[in-house]
A and B are shown apart, each in its own frame.
Chain A
Amino acid sequence: MNAHSSHEENTAVRGHVEMRDIGMQFKVKGSTVDAVAGVSIDVKPGEFVSLIGPSGCGKSTLLNVAAGFVKPSAGDALLDGIRIERPGADRGVVFQQYSLFPWMTVRKNVEFGLKIQGVSASERETKARTLLGLAGLLHFENHYPEQLSGGMKQRVGIVRALSVSPQVLLMDEPFGALDSQTRVVMQEILTNMWQRLRISVLFITHDIDEAIFLSDRIYVMTARPGRIKSEIVVPLPRPRTAAMTSTPEFTNLVHTIKGLIREESLAAMGGELHEGGLVGLSTEVGPRGMGELV
């Protein structure tokens, strides 16, 4: 754990994530491949920031750097001015895959991080139950993860990440595996929880609507090697409601970001965008990438 982890109330003065000129290279069969190059982003205290971009642009790599799971080949990642060296309880992580410990009940999962911090059993229970109540999961505290639906598992995952009062929440396509109805509900739950906790969030997604609905700011990334293509401020008021998704403001934003990503997806596939349609799209490319992104 780093020095920040004992920080109790989130007054949104901490949790400032800065990434400066992050570069990430992988060695593939002797040659080096740039996954990410010269990316600088920041998440200000209490801010909700999304990273969006085509598949394979290194979004998850950036999150893994922020989490401390991997070290960048170049650049610095800082949390409140302190260099991120390894994973720690000051940064909560929510994964795309279900990551609950299957041998623990829901409540024990939530208590795991608190137990490591040496919190007493009764205090752990109180805190876990409070958080589970917030997420509407109190009835399931004694269930095993296997007995929960996908959406419930991810809610427990979020609650577990929040249990240790992190400075920032790092979310790697947390709703990617859920069906679209559940996804929308989860987005509303998340935006409500964030509204109360006012914690900094770095959110990775490839879903444009999701990014706009949740975020204060959105970074759009280029195709590999991933760079920041543009930064978009979402002017929608808080608290966000489902009704906002049909306002002209919202749909204009969707349209803008769609255009940005579409250029990148096509660039990644070796095609060019001309007025009136696609020209010169490489024939090797299947329809899958298009369907996913456009």
Chain B
Amino acid sequence: MRIASILDANTHVANDPLIKVASNFHAPRVAEMASRLHAAASEVTSNTVSASVFTAPALNLATPVARPKSQEGAKVAVAGRFWLWVSSQWLAWLLAVASIGAVILIWHLATRYKLDFYVRFNNIPGPAEVWGKVLEVNRSPKFITNIGISVRRILLGFFVATALGVGLGLLIGRYRWVRLSSMPALEVFRPIPAIAWVPMSIMLWPSNEVSIVFITFLGAFFPILLNTIHGVEAVDPVLLRAARSLGARERTLLFEVIMPAALPHIFTGLAVGMGVAWVSLIAAEMISGQFGIGYFTWEAYSLISYSEIALGMITIGILGLLCSGVIRCTARLAMPWIERSPGGAQP
């Protein structure tokens, strides 16, 4: 199901007129809506993809090091582990800087020499121009306000999606009758991409703001729901038997066994959901918004302000990166039993 949501995101990007990819496998209705989409979405899509490979153990790039066997040794070991971590990470950091540096360098060269080989860099602003724009937009509060509004929409939509997705997912995964009665209805809505909801959402909700939050919610909801259901189904039955033989009743089973056991899957859902939420938000802002970073980027296109387009895209990328980073950190803190990060919290 994770893959399905990424495919959703990709198909929208495929409809982007700017990258001129013809796509004929869409209903005309969806195609029309999606045709207003932008290259910016691809930035967010790449976040979605990276989020999909998120599994808790894979989070940790550092090589596993010996854990202290007793608490007395813990302090020394933490310091030692920190140095081990640093020494094992410096190459990773170097490569990270080099890879981002290479992108900026190629970008600079391509725009400097106005490269034109099917892909045209004639009108594309260079890194220096965009940097100039960064300084310019920060002289007025408009830009940062746009960012603030987008972040607020993401947080609202994402938190509602988390509450409903995890709550409903636990019930659907645990109780057959909840599943049988609610899944058919949910399955009808699931294949409809959040972006296809834009016109309906505008009619449905009293204000533009609420309708954008609703679309963001929709984007995040299904990945969270489906991963939670999957997590509940994947709980080892022997854990449930063990808990029941220790006297646990249904409530305890649900909240103290099933939920923590499903937590790794739930966090996968959150990471994927956050990626799709950004895709949906940016699309909604471009189509119906008045504020927000998606609107900022689309407005820049309308006003033929090329460096603002690039700035908008980069900002969306950074925001998406920060959001998935926050989820990863939360995952580590919430699941200290899974390959704890060196120097991280000791229970």
Q: Mark B250-290, 1 if CB is under 8 A from A, else 0.
A: 00100011001101000000000000000000000000000
Q: Is B207 interfacial (CB 8 A cutoff)? A: no
CA distance A139 to B335 in the complex (A): 22
Q: Which residues from B are CB-within-8-Å of A68?
A: 244-245
Given contacts A113-B246, A160-B246, contact A147 B241 (CB under 8 A): no
Q: Which residues from B are CB-within-8-Å of A142?
A: 71, 347
Interface core residue of B67, B245, B247, B260 (most chain A CB under 10 Å): B245
Contact A97 B347 (CB under 8 A): no
Q: Which residues from A are CB-within-8-Å of B256?
A: 112
Contact B238 A97 (CB under 8 A): yes
Q: Is B155 interfacial (CB 8 A cutoff)? A: no
Q: Which residues from B are CB-within-8-Å of A146?
A: 337
The smallest C-beta distance from A154 to any residue of chain B, in angstroms, reads: 12
Given contacts A103-B263, A105-B347, contact A91 B245 (CB under 8 A): yes
Contact B246 A164 (CB under 8 A): yes
CA distance A92 to B257 in the complex (A): 18
Contact B241 A95 (CB under 8 A): yes
Q: Is A26 interfacial (CB 8 A cutoff)? A: no
In this complex, what residue of A is CB-closest to B67? A147
Contact A116 B248 (CB under 8 A): yes
Q: Is A99 interfacial (CB 8 A cutoff)? A: yes
Q: Which residues from A are CB-within-8-Å of B67?
A: 147
Contact A87 B244 (CB under 8 A): yes
In this complex, what residue of A is CB-closest to B260? A103
Given contacts A116-B252, A139-B69, A142-B347, contact A101 B239 (CB under 8 A): yes
Partner pick for A93 among B245, B252, B260, B336, CB 8 A cutoff: B245
In this complex, what residue of A is CB-closest to B243? A112
The smallest C-beta distance from A156 to any residue of chain B, in angstroms, reads: 11
Q: Is B4 interfacial (CB 8 A cutoff)? A: no
Interface core residue of B69, B71, B236, B247 (most chain A CB under 10 Å): B247
Q: A residues 172-202 with Cβ under 8 Å of B?
A: none
Q: Which residues from A are CB-within-8-Å of B260?
A: 101, 103
Q: A69-B241, A100-B242, A146-B337 are in contact. List 17 more A-B contacts (CB 8 A).
A: A87-B245, A88-B247, A97-B236, A99-B242, A101-B239, A101-B257, A101-B261, A102-B261, A104-B337, A112-B246, A113-B248, A139-B69, A144-B336, A144-B337, A145-B337, A161-B246, A164-B246
A-B contacts, 21 listed (Cβ < 8 Å): A1-B247, A87-B241, A87-B244, A88-B247, A89-B247, A93-B245, A95-B242, A99-B238, A99-B239, A102-B337, A103-B263, A112-B243, A112-B248, A116-B247, A116-B248, A144-B336, A146-B337, A147-B67, A157-B242, A160-B242, A163-B246
Q: Which residues of B contact A (CB under 8 A)?
A: 67, 69-71, 236, 238-239, 241-248, 252, 256-257, 260-261, 263, 335-337, 347
